[in-house]
Amino acid sequence: QVQLVESGGGLVQPGGSLRLSCAASGFSLDTYTIGWFRQAPGKEREGIGCISSDDGETYQADSVKGRFTISRDNAKNTVYLQMNSLRPEDTAVYYCAADLSPWYQFFLKDRDEVDYWGQGTQVTVSS
């Protein structure tokens, strides 16, 4: 069965850290650009960053730049989102997605055109 599964979400205090994982099964991630999105209640889904399939080039949105880092371990078929200095406004459901497009085109694709989506994991930042 082909799927992406996110894990690592939870409740964290402001200023804290979490690391989300995006694990693939049924296919190999090493040829895919992997992106992270989030969606807060009542808001549009926001693309927050992605990592290329080959040289590890990464992109982060301004809203998370300097706080969030994306990395990949192709041997484990997993991509990570390290989130530091979390803020209440980071509260959202976080999704990963995989697509064969280059990283610089990833966020230009319509949601329905992306090859694979995970089911999402909740991150809540609150004291």
**C-alpha closest to that of 84 among 1, 7, 19, 2:** 19
33-84 pLDDT tens trace:
999 999 999 999 999 999 998 778 889 999 999 999 999 998 999 999 999 9
Cβ neighbours for 121, distance < 8 A, ≥ 6 positions apart: 6, 7, 8, 9, 20, 93, 94
Pairing of strands 92-99, 116-117: antiparallel
The Cα–Cα gap between 41 and 17 comes to 21
β-pair partners for 3: 25
Percentage of the residues of the chain whose pLDDT score is greater than 70: 100
The pLDDT value given to residue 56: 81
